């Protein structure tokens, strides 16, 4: 595998960053996860725009244009001869000293990894996922805005550890007030009487690219889409539930905290949206 690192493609064994890089020392950096399907990069420009927005908010200047960065993503796939892949695009504050001061970091570190990914086994897409609500709360948005896709994912990882220790693949995280936010790596949707509900960003939710795509698709599938504050009671009594994410795509949920959701099988609305999403990935996207 070849990895892009600070201006050139190198073998993965030589794709090394300094131990003084503030991305490693402090999680000071931003990233995007992007998918390609059949030689097309899905929502490339949306991901690039979001990366620049995250970087701008933390006052991290990406040392190239959006167009150049998009071209490097394409090159990463071509160099590795990948058509169906997951691309991890990362920009860190760069090498500094052991202090927090970002002014000590003179040059950002940029790297791009293109590889295969399989977040969940096919069985879970066919039969559905079981979730658990964990005690680890989602970060308070006023402390760390969820729209910043920073390199510090410890909040999510702690939730994931709780899920794994309890024997689950994924977990639901609540806000400090007890409202549903998202899972450790995906947004969550509820289907209830032809309504498609999802928590609003201000409760502590990332505006996921796949989340937005599904909200657009739902309008053409007889579903009224609305952002709404949700409780676990709303989840337990939903007709259907599914998760969305770049790596996960659309994953049905059939059980939460021991309660069966709907029929206990992936529902018809979820299946329709899965099919529509997969069709979009085949025909949409940027060729490379």
Q: What is the CATH number of the domain that holds 16?
A: 3.30.470.10
136 within domain boundaries: yes
Between CA 33 and CA 88 the distance in angstroms is 5
Query: Which string of b and e fits 1-30 if b means at least 16 CB within 10 Å?
Result: ebbbbeeebbeeeebebeeebbbbbbebbb
With contact defined as beta carbons under 8 Å apart, do 199 and 230 qualify? Answer: yes
Domain end (from 83, 115, 147):
115
**Active site residue ranges:** 149
The answer to whether residues 84 and 56 belong to one domain is yes
The answer to whether residues 146 and 102 belong to one domain is no
Mean pLDDT by 10 residues, the chain (288 residues): 98 98 98 97 98 98 98 98 97 98 98 94 96 97 96 97 98 98 98 97 97 95 96 98 97 98 97 96 90
At 284 the pLDDT is 87
**Token code pair at residue 185:** 């790596």
The answer to whether residues 204 and 265 belong to one domain is yes
The answer to whether residues 138 and 259 belong to one domain is yes
With contact defined as beta carbons under 8 Å apart, do 144 and 150 qualify? Answer: yes
The answer to whether residues 263 and 128 belong to one domain is yes
The answer to whether residues 131 and 267 belong to one domain is yes
Rounded alpha-carbon distances, angstroms, from residue 152 to 29, 39, 54, 148, 207: 8, 31, 13, 10, 17
At 118 the pLDDT is 87
The answer to whether residues 137 and 277 belong to one domain is yes
Provide the residue range defining the domain that includes 6: 2-115
Map tokens 């927005």 to a residue: 53
The answer to whether residues 150 and 83 belong to one domain is no
> Could you tell me which residues come within 8 angstroms of residue 93 by beta carbon, excluding any fewer than 6 positions away?
21, 22, 23, 26, 28, 29, 60, 102, 105, 108, 109
288 within domain boundaries: no
Rounded alpha-carbon distances, angstroms, from residue 287 to 112, 166, 172, 213: 18, 42, 35, 19
Domain end (from 81, 115, 149):
115
Domain end (from 57, 88, 115):
115
At 119 the pLDDT is 87
The answer to whether residues 247 and 176 belong to one domain is yes
261 within domain boundaries: yes
State phi, psi for 194 to the nearest 5 degrees: 65, 15
The answer to whether residues 216 and 98 belong to one domain is no
| Neighbour tally for 78: CB within 10 Å | 13
The answer to whether residues 36 and 146 belong to one domain is no
> Could you tell me which residues come within 8 angstroms of residue 79 by beta carbon, excluding any fewer than 6 positions away?
2, 9, 114
How many structural domains is the chain composed of?
2
The answer to whether residues 223 and 272 belong to one domain is yes
């Amino acid at each position: 595998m070849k990895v892009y690192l600070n201006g050139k493609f190198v073998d993965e064994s030589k794709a090394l960053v300094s131990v003084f890089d503030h991305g490693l020392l402090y999680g000071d950096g931003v990233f995007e996860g992007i998918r390609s399907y059949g030689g097309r990069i899905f929502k490339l420009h949306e991901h690039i725009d979001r990366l620049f927005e995250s970087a701008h908010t933390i006052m991290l200047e990406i040392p190239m244009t959006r167009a150049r960065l998009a071209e490097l993503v394409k090159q990463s796939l071509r160099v590795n001869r990948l058509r169906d892949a997951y691309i991890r695009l990362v920009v860190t504050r760069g090498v500094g000293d052991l202090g927090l001061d970002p002014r000590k970091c003179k040059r950002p570190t940029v790297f791009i990894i293109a590889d295969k990914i399989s977040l969940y086994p096919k069985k879970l897409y066919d039969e559905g996922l079981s979730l658990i609500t964990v005690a680890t709360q989602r970060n308070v948005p006023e402390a760390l805005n969820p729209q910043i896709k920073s390199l510090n994912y410890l909040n999510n990882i702690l939730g994931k550890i709780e899920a794994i220790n309890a024997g689950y693949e994924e977990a639901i995280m609540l806000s400090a007030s007890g409202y549903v936010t998202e899972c450790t790596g995906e947004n969550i949707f509820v289907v209830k009487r032809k309504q498609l509900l999802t928590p609003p960003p201000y409760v502590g939710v990332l505006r996921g690219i796949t989340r937005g795509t599904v909200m657009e698709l739902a309008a053409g599938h007889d579903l009224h889409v609305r952002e709404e504050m949700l409780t676990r009671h709303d989840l337990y009594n939903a007709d259907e539930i599914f998760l969305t994410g770049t790596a996960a795509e659309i994953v049905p949920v059939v059980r939460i905290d021991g309660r069966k959701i709907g029929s206990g099988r992936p529902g018809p609305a979820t299946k329709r949206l899965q099919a529509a999403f997969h069709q979009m990935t085949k025909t949409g996207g940027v060729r490379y």
